[in-house]
Amino acid sequence: MKNIFDQWRNLLREEKEKVDQEALRKVLKDEGGASGIEPFLKAVDASEESIKDALKAMDDVGQHEDGDYILADDKEIIVKIIKEEIKFVLEKRKKKKKSSGKKDACYHKVRSRYKVWPSAYASGALVRCRKVGAKNWGNKKK
């Protein structure tokens, strides 16, 4: 029973600690787009930890290396999304190009000697050629 009451208290604390993201954006706009933690503490009735968690969860707010929180412009967000999409498409194209593969010397040498391709014999010959190298394959040892 005590466990249930503890869970209830924790739930009430979490509800109380929820921070309004619009209020945080308003503070950033009032401060000129960048702010330390102090103005947030004055404007919002919440703990410093919950404010920091809310700021991390916001996509349009980033943290500067000096610790200030910065509100991103809409243009910056759109540019960032476009760059990510372009990067994703280019990586996808690279993967497709790699899958086609290039044919090595053994492939061409073995393919020219076997009429039926692919066949078990031709595949075995290709493996043996790759083991000894294309220059040495097909030469008899004396």
Print the domain residue range for 131: 102-142
Chain segment 68-115, per-residue pLDDT in tens: 888 877 666 677 778 888 988 888 877 665 545 678 888 888 888 888
Q: What dihedral do alpha carbons 97, 81, 19, 48 form, nearest 10°?
A: 80
Residue 31 counted as domain residue: yes
DSSP-derived secondary structure for 40-83: HHHHS-S-HHHHHHHHHH-TTEEE-TTS-EEEPPHHHHHHHHHH
Residue 91 counted as domain residue: no
For the whole prediction, is pTM greater than 0.85?
Answer: no
d(CA 84, CA 79): 9
Residue 97 counted as domain residue: no
Residue 85 counted as domain residue: no
Residue 22 counted as domain residue: yes
Chain segment 32-46, per-residue pLDDT in tens: 888 888 888 888 877
How many domains in the chain?
2
Q: Residue 99: what pLDDT? A: 46
Q: Which residues neighbour 104 within 8 Å (Cβ) at sequence distance 6 or greater?
A: 130, 134
